[in-house]
Structure 1
Amino acid sequence: MGLYRQDGTRIAKDAFPATTLDDPPVRVTDDVYVSEPYGRGDGRPEGSKRSLLYPVGAIVARSVIDGHFTMPALTSISPDHGPESGGTTVTITGEHLDGVSAVTFGGVAGDGLSITSADELTVTTPPGEPGAVTVKIADDGGTASKANGFTYDPAPELPEPSADD
C-alpha cells in the first residue's frame, strides 16, 4: 500500500506534502465539558445542558483549545456616567462575557463584578477624576475596551458661606 497524488504519482515518505506547524498537541488531563442552552433560551447559565467535549487522555491541538476561549466584545455600558466618588453600578452588554475576570475604568479596577449571562455583566465603578475614561474588560480570551466608555461627573460645587453665617 502506498500514498499517491491526485495525478497518480507515488509519494515517498521523505517527500510527504506537509509543513511543520508550531501547534503542539496537548493531552487532556481532566474531562472537559461544554455548556449549551436548551433551545433558544435567554443565554443564561441555568437551563443549559453540559456535554462531554474532551475526555481524559484526548489529544488535541493547542490551537483548537485556544479557539474555545473567545475574546470578549463590549457593546454598551449603562449608565455611561456617574459621580467621581464612584459607586455607580453599571451594566455592560456584549458577547462572550461569561469569562470576564476584570473590568477597569481608566485603569482602576471596578468592584463587585457579577456575570449575569454570556451577554451581560454588572460592576460597580471605582472613584475617578472628572471626565471620560476607557472601560476595559479582560478574560482568558483577551481584552476589549471602549474609549470614553464612562464619564465621571464632577462633584457639585457648594456655595461659599456668606459673611452673615
Structure 2
Amino acid sequence: MSEEKKPSVLEGFKAFLMRGNVVDLAVAVVIGAAFTSIVNSVVKGVINPLVGAFGTKDLDQYSSCLQSPCKFDEATGTATSGIPIMWGTVLSATLTFLITAAVVYFLMVLPMSKYLARQAARQKAKEDTKEVIEVTELELLRDIRDALVAQRGPGQNDN
C-alpha cells in the first residue's frame, strides 16, 4: 500500500503566495494606498480651500448643530457641548472618492479597456486571415487533386 505525500501547510502557503495574481494584487494595494494619499492631499490642500474661498471657512469646518449650543474645543477639535453634524467632512470625503474614482477610470480603466479592445480586434483579424489562408490552401489542394485525377484519365485504378 503506497502512501501519498500530502503537501504541508507551509508548502501550500508558499505556492499561494507565488501565484501571479496574489503578487499583482499586493502591488495594486500598495500603489492604491500611495495614490489615495496623493488624492487626499489634493482635496485637503486645493479643493477644500477653494470651497472655503467661496464660503466662509475650510470645507472640513462646515457643520450643523443637532442640539444647541454647539461649542468646540479649539485644541482638540471635539465638541464640548451640543451634538454637531460634521457634514463638511462627509462632503470632503465624497469629493475625495469622486476624484479618486475619476482619475482611476480615466487614467487606468479606460486606456486599459481600449488597449484590450485593440488586442482583441487584432487577434480576431489574425484568426480571420488564418481561416482565409486555410480555406484557400484547402481549395488549392482540391484543385490539384482534381487536376491529377483528370490527367490520369477515366477508368484508371488507384493501385
Higher relative contact order (CA 8 A, sep 6+): 1
Q: Which has the higher strand share?
A: 1
TM-score by length of 1: 0.20
Larger Rg: 2
